[in-house]
Amino acid sequence: MRPSARLWPGLRAASLNALITLIAIIAGYLIIELIFFRVFLPNVELQSRPHLPETAGVLLQRSKAGFVPQNYVAVLGDSYAEGLGNWLLKNGGNEALPFGSVDVLHAILRRDVVSFGRGGAGNAEGFVRQPARILAGSHCLIFPTIPEPDQIIAYFYEGNDIEDNLRFLQRVHQRFGKSDTTAIDQFLSTEYAHFSFWQCRLQLGDTISRMTRFLFAYRNLKLSDLTETLSGPNKVIVGQAELDVPLVEAPPMQLDDDDIRKGLAVFERSLLWLRHRFPAISITVVYIPAPLTVYRKANPTVHYRYETNDELFTSTAGSAALERKSDQMCSWVRDMTTKAGARFLDSRPAARAVAADNFIHGPDEWEHYNELGYRTLATFLAQALSRSGDSDRCSAQAPPTQAGP
């Protein structure tokens, strides 16, 4: 008997055992995945959701009546839409408690309001990737299906959305060798709006990976590490007092008009994708001001910080120039919004009215709204949504500086 003939039965048995083991592992994974997402998650109250995939993160939000949102408002955008800030810090990071604008809108409107927001997202991620992944992911068997929203609110944040969009353009150029509108649209459709069948089978693995990265990155982090000192180079007038404010974000003073227009092209193409994806749904774009835009400045010069290619920089600008930049950007965003067939709301006047006598940022975390800030934003939105009307015009009434009008 040839040696190969003697080896064949052993190889066949080993192959069969390996196949059975592989099938058992796959079956076990699928069962655990189904139990985790269908049985465990609906019956627990998690204090933190950063380690969950996008669809599961929406289902676990508390700003809705049931596990699956119904007839709901979806809030899109970055960390402002997600609700990061001092209110969350004050709650000890407990996301089961109210901490953002969606929670306030839910209470005022008495309807389901959920955040599709993600910290660090630019307009392409916030307007395209997040809703595409969340809604497509809900068609996986491990999740109940999330219906399309009845209404969409999309936040545009003047502080860093343009920088985020310019980073997105770098990825588009690396992929296609160009970054014109055709390339942007192609990247959005093939990369950000695409959800493959295999992603349904990777939800549990994605959760484990996120949890591992989250625990490793923040294993020694305390909430106190996220706080900032009140003292800083900027002085603002709140009420009758002149107070210090740390280095915070401003409109993109470091960018020229050409770069801003390039970044706004990403906003425009992302909004058009959103409009085409949800043609029958009301979409409202809300202009969110940077912290330095909101307050009355005590000096004619302000200090601000910005991030470019993951590097942090600081610079100075004239207070009047800062306000002009904000007005200019607001006008450009408004024009693009109305051209796309969406409604535009300028939240700066509402924020400035409250900030005239109260801080709506800080006192610990200064890059986002605190509880009063989110309540101010949500109240403004609830009032605007309760009445139908044309788009806002950008308010040119900036808070004056102490040095002059």
- The answer to the question of residue 229 being in a domain is yes
Q: At 158, is the secondary structure helix, strand, or coil? A: coil
Angle, helices 257-277 vs 161-176, to 10°: value is 80
Distance (Å, whole) CA 126 – CA 75: 9
Could you report the per-residue pLDDT of 102-144, keeping only the tens digit for each?
Answer: 999 999 999 999 999 999 999 999 999 999 999 998 888 888 8
Q: Residue 404 domain-assigned?
A: no
Cα distance between residue 384 and residue 397, in whole Å: 19
- Residues 156 and 284 both lie in one domain: yes
User: Rounded distance, CA 360 to CA 213, Å?
Assistant: 32
Contact residues for 295 (Cβ-Cβ < 8 A; gap 6+): 236, 237, 238, 245, 352, 355, 399
User: Residue 405: its pLDDT value, please?
Assistant: 32
- Asked, for residue 366, whether it belongs to a domain, the answer is yes
The half-sphere exposure of 23 on its side-chain side, counting CA atoms within 13 A, is 6
Of 288, 321, 333, 335, whose CA–CA distance to 398 is shortest?
321
Residues 203 and 270 in one domain: yes
Same domain (yes/no): 182, 128: yes
Structural domain contains residue 36: yes
Q: Is 381 in a helix, a strand, or coil?
A: helix
In a domain, 392, yes or no: no
140 CB neighbour count, 10 Å cutoff: 19
pTM, two decimal places: 0.87
Distance in angstroms (rounded) separating the CA atoms of residues 349 and 335:
18
* Domain extent at residue 224: 46-385
User: CB within 8 A of 371, min separation 6: which ones?
Assistant: 86, 87, 90
pLDDT at 49: 64
Let me know whether 141 and 267 are in one domain: yes
Domain annotation covers residue 171 = yes
In order along its 405 residues, the chain shows pLDDT tens digits of: 455 555 566 666 666 667 676 676 666 656 666 666 666 666 666 666 666 788 888 998 999 999 999 999 999 999 999 999 999 999 988 888 999 999 999 999 999 999 999 999 999 999 999 999 999 988 888 888 999 999 999 999 999 999 999 999 999 999 999 999 999 999 999 999 988 766 776 666 666 666 666 556 554 545 454 545 445 688 999 998 888 889 899 999 999 999 999 999 999 999 999 999 999 999 999 999 999 999 999 999 999 999 888 788 999 999 999 999 999 999 999 999 999 999 999 999 999 999 999 999 999 899 999 999 999 999 999 999 888 778 889 987 666 554 333
Do 285 and 370 lie in one domain? The reply is yes
3-state secondary structure of 294: helix
Q: Are strands 73-76 and 151-157 parallel, antiparallel or unpaired?
A: parallel
User: Measured between alpha carbons, how far is 280 from 403 in angstroms, rounded to an integer?
Assistant: 49
Q: How far apart are CA 72 and CA 70, in angstroms?
A: 5
Q: Are residues 124 and 267 in the same domain?
A: yes
pLDDT given for residue 386 in this prediction: 85
Q: How much helix, strand and coil, in percent to the nearest 5, is found in the chain?
A: 50, 15, 35
CA 117, 284, 381, 260 torsion: positive or negative? positive
pLDDT at residue 391, as a whole number: 82
- Please indicate, yes or no, whether residues 145 and 180 belong to a single structural domain of this protein: yes
Question: Does 397 map to a domain?
Answer: no
| CATH label of the domain that carries residue 191 | 3.40.50.1110
My answer on whether 17 and 137 are in the same domain is: no
Rounded Cα gap, residues 243 and 25, in angstroms: 61
Taking only the tens place, the pLDDT of each residue in 241-292 is: 888 889 899 999 999 999 999 999 999 999 999 999 999 999 999 999 999 9
CA 128, distance to chain mean position in Å, is 11
Whether residues 20 and 76 share a domain: the answer is no
Q: Examine the domain organization and report whether 266 and 338 are in the same domain.
A: yes
Domain tally for the chain? 2
Contact 381, 113 (CB under 8 A): no
Q: Distance between CA 126 and CA 116 in Å, rounded?
A: 7
C-alpha neighbours within 13 Å on the C-beta side of residue 148: 10
Q: State the first-to-last Cα distance of the chain, in angstroms, to the nearest integer.
A: 102
Which H or E run contains 44?
none
Query: Does residue 6 lie within any of the structural domains?
Result: no
Q: Is the previous residue joined to 363 through a cis bond, with omega within 30 degrees of 0?
A: yes
Do 55 and 39 sit in the same domain of this protein? no
**Same-domain pairing of 27 and 167:** no
Query: Can you give the length of the chain in residues?
Result: 405
What single-letter DSSP state applies at residue 303? E
Nearest to 155 by CA among 306, 381, 322, 339: 381
CB 151 within 8 A of CB 74: yes
Which whole-number Å values give the CA distances from 177 to 185, 262, 395, in the listed order? 14, 16, 39
Q: Give me the sign of the Cα torsion angle 147, 151, 152, 153.
A: negative
Q: Cβ distance 115 to 100 under 8 Å?
A: yes
In sequence order, the β-bridge partners of residue 235 are 244
**Dihedral over alpha carbons 357, 367, 50, 168 (to 10 degrees):** 130
